Each structure stands twice: as structure tokens, then as C-alpha cells.
Amino acid sequence: MTDKDKEREALLAEHAQALAFLAGLYCGDLTISDPPMAVAERIFDSVMAERAGLKDEIQRQEQALDFLRQSLARARLGTNQPQELT
């Protein structure tokens, strides 16, 4: 085995280790023996979907907080007329 072959094997092992590490971000079934790009795409898609879900939840929580703030302000002013969420 030449030095070039050893370098290549070491690089491939490093990439496999990095992919295995990233696979921890993926919640579904994942086989690391799949093509590397397919594995990377599935991990990326999973992380992006989780991120979008968290962003939506933050938006819902902010809307609820705004509604509560408005309700509190109305109660302090003595006006209890309901106001729709936008």
C-alpha cells in the first residue's frame, strides 16, 4: 500500500466519522453505508424541518404572548372588550 493510498483511506475514514457524528442529528432510520451525499441530504432535510417547526412554535408563542399583553393592558384600563388576534 502506497503513502497515497494510506492518505486516501485516512481521509475516507475521517469523512465516515464526520458523517456518523452528523447522523446523531437525524431522528429516523439512517444507514451510514448509504451513499454519503444521500445521508448528508437526509440529515440536512431533517435539521431544516426541525428548525422550521421550532420557528413556527416561536411565532405561535409570540402571538399568544401579544394577546395576553393586550388583555392585561385592557384589564388595567378597565375595558374588557375582546380583541382578535392578527
pLDDT at site 81 = 58
Range of the domain at 15: 3-77
List all residues 6 or more positions away from 54 whose beta carbon is below 8 Å from its beta carbon: none
Residue 82 placed within a domain: no
pTM exceeds 0.75, yes or no: no
Q: Is-contact 26 40, C-beta < 8 A?
A: no
List all residues 6 or more positions away from 74 whose beta carbon is below 8 Å from its beta carbon: 80, 81, 83
Residue 19 placed within a domain: yes
* Number of separate domains in the chain: 1
Residue 86 placed within a domain: no
Q: pLDDT tens across 63-85, in order?
A: 999 999 999 998 888 865 555 65
Which DSSP category does 24 fall into? T
